[in-house]
Copies of this chain bind each other. A is one copy, B any other.
Amino acid sequence: MEKWDGSEGTSAFHMPEWMIQFADQKQEFNKRPTKIGRRSLSRSISQSSTDSYSSAASYTDSSDDETSPRDKQQKNSKGSSDFCVKNIKQAEFGRREIEIAEQEMPALMALRKRAQGEKPLAGAKIVGCTHITAQTAVLMETLGALGAQCRWAACNIYSTLNEVAAALAESGFPVFAWKGESEDDFWWCIDRCVNVEGWQPNMILDDGGDLTHWIYKKYPNMFKKIKGIVEESVTGVHRLYQLSKAGKLCVPAMNVNDSVTKQKFDNLYCCRESILDGLKRTTDMMFGGKQVVVCGYGEVGKGCCAALKAMGSIVYVTEIDPICALQACMDGFRLVKLNEVIRQVDIVITCTGNKNVVTREHLDRMKNSCIVCNMGHSNTEIDVASLRTPELTWERVRSQVDHVIWPDGKRIVLLAEGRLLNLSCSTVPTFVLSITATTQALALIELYNAPEGRYKQDVYLLPKKMDEYVASLHLPTFDAHLTELTDEQAKYLGLNKNGPFKPNYYRY
């Protein structure tokens, strides 16, 4: 099993500054839960949570009901009131959404089918904190079918689909979440999941690390019974890594963010489509003939470049890493410094995970009508703050589209205020969410069933065999037929017929 502990050799992953800042902020909050502290935390919550955010809009009209769910008395049809959602009566609509999602998540449905005989999660008590959407519901009900008991809160104060939460509550899941929670609500909901009489979790499924954080702070003793943590987000993984580094991680944790399938699909394949979608929905522009500079040629940048090239754009690439730079060359892109092309391009796209990649100086030199957007990890890639100066006029022309106007009349078109275009202005396909959810389910099964000693108090990548299993569960969607090794071939290659098929360092 490959360990990601950064302890080996010179290229170990150092804790980057933004992570340290984040950690500091967090500690601030715990010391002084003032209004300001809360707000800064609120930002960090939403920032971390958007790592795996899916476009989420309430399906039904928001009722004008302004009563806080915490103040309501609600029961589901079986008489239970162990939940807190916006409106239990929306359950039926939510159920239909879940049913539609089930059709598009065949891998989880296949897991359910296999679970009819054995219950690999029998006895598992899972506390979860994720976005609450129809896809999450399919995951939760799959975990239930596999034998687990679940309690759930939202990892983001805006992303909950109330109808889906209602449907889950109606079918007996203790869900504590609604769209538009306050920060106090946010932590209250998490607490209601964890702090239950006569029920103690033995597994954690987290997205962003807030749930894990809460248990660390409030109920550290719970970890005695907890068999493991499964974490989904970049931010949450980094927090676990900090804990591990500091020697404070007291259970095994599984980093599902860096599994092959998730990385390649979330980044390369998904962004290949969402860059086009995000640009079209916001600007209705034509791609053909446009000059575009893509900053960063990692998986996300590769996806963006491939898509735009295919649509007839002329694409330039900037890179700091010479290996990725050489890949860009071989893939047919001119490798430039941003300064060289900034005056001529029609679109600037950042995909670096870095900060201040597009500076005010760059923005000053762009031509009129240049579109600027961000597909990278954080919202710091474009120095949007530098545009908040008196001489520039901001004009909101559509949702997620601002014109920033220079004194001489030049406009640049800023999308999503520099936040992630793919999350803000396009949707994440169910197929990608399915891969993620399946990976989460398998990680829970692995950690829950692993024999004593297989995992220590450290952060692990999903075993390659399970990554392969996730992939195999999604092949039927494409009517794809896998070839099996013959015994003779397996012997020749020195492989088990059922995998894993590649050494850990294999790059795909």
Contact = CB atoms under 8 A, between A and B. Distances in A.
A74 B465 CA distance: 60
Interface stretch (A179-187, A194-202, A335-343): A335-343
Contacts of A4: 503, 505
A338 B479 contact: no
A291 interface: yes
A486 interface: yes
Contacts of A281: 277, 280-281
Given A11-B500, A13-B503, A431-B286, A311 B322 contact: no
A117 to B, nearest CB: 23
A318 B483 CA distance: 6
Contact of A508 (B327, B353, B426, B474): B327
B494 A15 contact: yes
Given A307-B311, A330-B312, A484-B320, A471 B325 contact: yes
Interface residues of A, number: 124
A173 to B, nearest CB: 25
A258 interface: yes
Contact of A475 (B309, B322, B354, B432): B322
Contacts of A499: 321-322
Interface in A246-281: 258, 260-261, 263-265, 269-270, 272-273, 276-277, 280-281
A199 B272 CA distance: 56
Given A2-B505, A468-B321, A16 B494 contact: yes
A123 interface: no
Interface string A93-112: 00000000001100000000
Given A17-B492, A335-B481, A338-B483, A472 B322 contact: yes
A494 B353 CA distance: 12
A70 interface: no
Given A289-B329, A484-B320, A492-B17, A10 B465 contact: yes
Contacts of A324: 508
A491 interface: yes
Given A326-B474, A468-B323, A503-B11, A354 B307 contact: no
A479 B344 contact: yes
Given A284-B429, A321-B468, A471-B322, A291 B14 contact: no
With most chain B CB atoms within 10 A of its CB, the pick from A17, A277, A311, A338 is A311
B489 A356 contact: yes
A71 interface: no
Contact of A329 (B325, B338, B480, B491): B480
Nearest to A332: B312
A9 interface: yes
A328 B474 CA distance: 13
A36 interface: no
A288 interface: yes
Given A11-B465, A503-B11, A481 B340 contact: yes
Interface string A484-502: 1110110111110001111
Interface of A: 1-4, 6, 8-11, 13-19, 55, 103-104, 258, 260-261, 263-265, 269-270, 272-273, 276-277, 280-281, 284-291, 299, 306-307, 309-314, 318-338, 340, 344, 353-357, 368-369, 380, 426-427, 429-432, 461, 463-465, 467-469, 471-472, 474-475, 477-486, 488-489, 491-495, 499-505, 507-508
In the A-B complex, list the 9 residue pairs whose CB atoms are closest, starting with the nearest. A310-B310, A16-B494, A335-B480, A14-B494, A286-B429, A322-B472, A289-B329, A322-B471, A288-B330
5 contacts: A13-B494, A13-B503, A272-B312, A323-B467, A337-B482
